[in-house]
Amino acid sequence: MSIDGFDIARSLVCERFPRARAAWLGGSTVLGIATPTSDLDISVLLDGPPAPYRESLRHRGWPVELFVHTEEAMQYFLEKDRKTRRPATLRLIGHSLVLLDSDGTGEYLQQLYAAQLAAGPDPLTTEELLAARYGITDRLDDLAGCVDDDERLLIAADLWRATAELLLTGHARWTGTGKWLHRELATFDRDTGTEYAKALAHGVRAVARGNAEPIAETVTHVLNIFGGRLFDGFTAQGPV
């Protein structure tokens, strides 16, 4: 990233949070994948109020997303990351540049969360895997029977998401939403020599042109990795 971005982020932290224990700059600008509309993702750790809160603003011409935490709030979001297997807070701090570190917390948490990111999420439970297989099978059936072009395209987009999530979580990898789901899958492909990200995106584009076969073929291949289609006999326990 540019030195200007780091300096601007640090100046914002010093001006707004003179008593901060630690602050980190994460996101696309640090990872080297920023676009012209990317913002500065800044996480800040305070001992108490006004934290916790989130704020969007502009600072010296840069769009900024501020994530202001207490220790308790940070732990809440980290537990949410682990439960959903979407490492938003883990990534923002684990893959970051330390902007401020008044007591050693900045470097310590950065290294701790980087190690947790590298270790990956918990593996899928048997119940989660069965539910994922059933959900994707159901969407495949919807795709095959759909006669409305708009509905077919939306089903394909949902299949892209569900299949990408199964591939990643089924291999004990982190997942994400939107562009981050695609980025996680592309990283998985680079690590494994596969091309699922490209195949699934191509499948959605093919559906837009009226051809559902490519995405159905790719999704079926992924299902077969984890036991195949599932409908008959599937059950799910309701809430107690």
- First vs last Cα of the chain: how many Å apart? 50
For residue 22, what is the DSSP state? E
Tell me how far apart the alpha carbons of residues 159 and 119 are, in angstroms, rounded to a whole number: 27
Q: 218-234 pLDDT, tens per residue?
A: 999 999 999 999 999 99
Angle ∠(10,101,86) on CA atoms, nearest 5: 80
pTM for this model (two decimals): 0.90
Q: Which helix (H) or strand (E) holds 56?
A: strand 53-59
Q: 88-98 pLDDT, tens per residue?
A: 999 999 999 99
CB 183 within 8 A of CB 86: no
Q: Is the peptide bond before 18 cis (omega within 30 degrees of 0)?
A: no
CB atoms within 10 A of CB 11: 13
Q: Taking 50 as the threshold, does the pLDDT of residue 1 lie above it? A: no
CB 175 within 8 A of CB 169: yes
Radius of gyration of the chain, Cα coordinates, nearest whole angstrom: 21
Q: Taking 80 as the threshold, does the pLDDT of residue 240 lie above it? A: no
Q: Is the peptide bond before 52 cis (omega within 30 degrees of 0)?
A: yes
Q: If you average pLDDT over every residue of the chain, what do you get? A: 94
Q: 183-221 pLDDT, tens per residue?
A: 999 999 999 999 999 999 999 999 999 999 999 999 999
pLDDT score recorded for residue 154: 98
For residue 2, what is the DSSP state? -
